[in-house]
Structure 1
Amino acid sequence: MDITEVVKRTGIPAHTLRFYEKKGLITSTSPPGARRHFAAAVVEQLAVIALGQAGGLSLDEIHAMLSPNGQANVDRAVLLSKADEIDATVKHLQAMSRGLRHAAACPAPNHAQCPTFRRLLTIAAAGTFKRGSAGLARVRPAHSNTEAL
């Protein structure tokens, strides 16, 4: 399959295909210097690369999971580690969302008078937001009619 056909089928630009080839993620069937041609299996290989990238894997991590013939050789430990990272990020973002929702709906006359907002400021100043949501998960609103953080 000509490189133009691969671009049409996948939407991946030719320069990206050449980059992937240079990184060893895909291989062309054409001799050096000739117009690039790929086996039909390259479409599936590109799908595996796209899936890995969507999951947050680096190209090096993806490369390590592709056998020389282009078949996926999944490293389950890497996938579990990446899933754990994603779960931690989701928890952090959910905690941030709850904090923003509380600040938006807080019944205190101003945020400086809100005990929950004051605790959020303390946590932020301590750098807890950057390290994760563990500290944020312990913060509970002082107001009974607001969503728990």
Structure 2
Amino acid sequence: MPDEPLLDIGEVARRSGLAPSALRFYEKKGLIAPEGRNGLRRTYRPEVLERLGLITCARSAGLPVAEIGRFLAARPSDGDLRDRMTTRAEDLDEQIARLTRLRDSLRHAAVCTHEPIVACPDFQRAIGNVAAGASRAVTP
């Protein structure tokens, strides 16, 4: 929308929750582009906030910056990238399962009456499941 006012780097940083240095880094890597300058300050179209949301989501999923650039430009025909996204999703599923087991074992420990708690067979079994899941996650 061409009639929308441009946002300076400080406003984009405030709205996105990212430091101005992160915005400059993403610009250097080609993930975002300024619309121009207002004096010495970079200015951006408001749509950059949506793009930064995608970048933040991809970073949270563990994608490296180089991969995010490919992700943002991906087309349905990019099978290699789709395969990597699927693999990363599977890795996240394993991590979620491991964290769920850890959460459940900590909840058990919080209410367990066994003395000492760490000797509780249920707790040990739960911790064993967490440890087994962790070792599977790092096995090549």
Is the TM-score greater than 0.5? yes
In structure 2, relative to structure 1, the CA distance for the partners of 1:22 and 1:104 (3 Å cut) is same
Query: Which residue, 28, 33, 38 being the options, matches 1:22?
Result: 28
Secondary structure of the 2:59 match is helix
Query: Which residue, 126, 132, 138 being the options, matches 1:128?
Result: 132
Where does structure 2 lack aligned partners over 5 or more consecutive residues? 1-5
Q: Does 1:80 align with 2:86?
A: yes
Q: Is the 8 A contact 1:92 1:132 kept in 2?
A: no
Q: Does 1:37 align with 2:9?
A: no
Kindly provide the amino acid, as one letter, of the partner of residue 46 in structure 1.
L
**Pairwise CA distance, 1:64:** 1.7
TM-score, length-scaled by structure 1: 0.59
In structure 2, relative to structure 1, the CA distance for the partners of 1:108 and 1:51 (3 Å cut) is closer
Q: How many residues align?
A: 125
* Identity over aligned pairs, percent: 34
Q: Is the 8 A contact 1:28 1:39 kept in 2?
A: yes
Per-residue CA distance 1:73-125 (angstroms, 9 max, x = gap): 5743333222211211111122223333444445655457644455567x48x
Secondary structure of the 1:12 match is coil
Q: Does 1:60 align with 2:77?
A: no
Per-residue CA distance 1:13-48 (angstroms, 9 max, x = gap): 3222111111221122448xx642334432322121
TM-score, length-scaled by structure 2: 0.62
Cross-structure match for 2:55: 49
Where does structure 1 lack aligned partners over 5 or more consecutive residues? 134-149
Q: Which has the higher strand share?
A: 2
